[in-house]
Amino acid sequence: MSHVASQLAILTSLAIWLAVQCSGNMDIVGRRVTALPGFDSEEDGRDPGMHTFTHTHMRKAFRLMNDLRSRRMLCDVLLVAGEVEIPAHKVVLASCSPYFCAMFTGEMSESKAPRVEIRDMDGQTLTKLVDYIYTAQIEVSEDNVQVLLPAASLLQLMDVRQVCCEFLQAQLHPTNCLGIRAFADLHACTDLLNHAHAYAEQHFSEVMQGEEFMSLSLQQVCSLISSDKLTVSTEEKVFEAMIAWIKHDKEARLEYMPKLMEHVRLPLLSRDYLVQIVEEEALIKNNNTCKDFLIEAMKYHLLPADQRHLIKTDRTRPRTPVSLPKVMIVVGGQAPKAIRSVECYDFQEDRWYQVADLPSRRCRAGVVFMAGKVYAVGGFNGSLRVRTVDVYDGVRDHWSAVPSMQERRSTLGAAVLGDLLYAVGGFDGSTGLSSVEAYNPKTNEWVFVAPMNTRRSSVGVGVVDGKLYAVGGYDGASRQCLSTVEEYNPVSNKWGYVADMSTRRSGAGVGVLDGQLYAAGGHDGPLVRKSVEVYDPATNTWRQVCDMNMCRRNAGVCAINGLLYVIGGDDGSCNLSSVEYYNPAMDKWSLIPTNMSNGRSYAGVSVIDKPL
Ligand X SMILES: *[C@@H]1O[C@H](CO)[C@@H](O)[C@H](O)[C@H]1NC(C)=O
Binding site for ligand X (CB under 6 A): 255, 258, 287-289, 334, 336, 360-361, 381-384, 386, 570, 574-578, 595, 601-602
Scanning 85-175, the segments in alpha helix (DSSP H) are: 90-96, 98-105, 123-135, 145-154, 158-171
Q: Please, which residue, 27 or 255, has the CB nearer to ligand X?
A: 255
Q: Is 228 left (phi over 0), alpha (psi -120 to 50) or beta?
A: alpha
Q: Which of 258/476 has CB closer to ligand X? A: 258
C-beta of 380: minimal distance to ligand X in Å? 9
Nearest distance, CB of residue 285 and ligand X, angstroms: 10
Smallest CA-to-CA distance from 155 within 227, 101, 78, 211 is with 101
CB of 550 to ligand X, least distance (A): 6
CB of 595 to ligand X, least distance (A): 4
Minimal distance in Å, beta carbon 390 to ligand X? 12
The residue (of 61 and 527) whose beta carbon lies closer to ligand X is: 527
Could you tell me the smallest distance in angstroms from the CB atom of residue 418 to ligand X?
Answer: 30
Hey, what's the torsion of the CAs at 117, 119, 125, 131, to 10 degrees? -30
d(CA 342, CA 347): 16
Residue with Cβ nearer ligand X (191 or 255): 255
Q: For residue 364, give the 3-state DSSP assignment.
A: coil
**DSSP states along 555-594:** -EEEEETTEEEEE--B-SSSB---EEEEETTTTEEEE-SS
Of 421 and 576, which has the nearer Cβ to ligand X?
576
Q: How many other C-beta atoms are found inside a 10 Å radius of the C-beta of residue 455?
A: 22
Q: How far is the CB of 336 from ligand X (least distance, A)?
A: 3
User: Longest Cα pair distance anywhere in the chain, in angstroms?
Assistant: 97
Q: Which H, E and C letters describe 134-155, residue by residue?
A: HHCCCCCCCCCHHHHHHHHHHC
Secondary structure in 3-state letters for 491-512: CCCEEEEECCCCCCCECCEEEE
Nearer to ligand X, 356 or 612 (CB): 356
Nearer to ligand X, 195 or 553 (CB): 553
Residue nearer to ligand X on the CB measure, 269 or 339: 339
Neighbouring C-alpha atoms within 13 Å toward the C-beta of 107: 0
Nearer to ligand X, 270 or 549 (CB): 549
Full strand arrangement of the beta sheet holding 342-346: 351-355, 342-346, 326-331, 604-609
Tell me whether residue 139 or residue 255 sits nearer to ligand X (CB atom).
255
CB of 600 to ligand X, least distance (A): 8
Nearest approach in angstroms of CB 288 to ligand X is 4
Nearest residue to ligand X by CB is 336
Q: Cis omega (within 30 of 0) on the bond before 336?
A: yes
Task: Give whichever of 361 and 373 is closer to ligand X, judged by the CB atom.
Answer: 361
Contact 316, 265 (CB under 8 A): yes
At residue 243, what is the residue type? I
Q: Least distance in Å: CB of 311 to ligand X?
A: 23
Q: What is the CA radius of gyration of the chain?
A: 31
DSSP 248-297: HTHHHHGGGHHHHHTTS-GGGS-HHHIIIIITT-HHHHT-HHHHHHHHHH
Per residue in 230-246, is it b (16+ CB within 10 Å) or e — as a string? bbbeebbbbbbbbbebb
The torsion angles phi and psi of 87, rounded to 5 degrees, stand at -75, 145
Q: Would you say 123 or 258 has its CB closer to ligand X?
A: 258
Q: What is the DSSP letter of 597?
A: S
Q: Where would I find the beta strands (DSSP E) of 40-108?
A: 77-81, 84-88
Q: What is the amino acid identity at position 274?
A: L
Whole-number Å distance between alpha carbons of 551 and 523: 9
Q: Provide, rounded to whole angstroms, the least separation between the CB of residue 73 and ligand X.
A: 58
Shortest distance (Å) from residue 476 CB to ligand X: 18
Residue 596 C-beta: closest distance to ligand X, Å:
9
Cis peptide before 98 (omega within 30 of 0): no
Nearer to ligand X, 41 or 573 (CB): 573
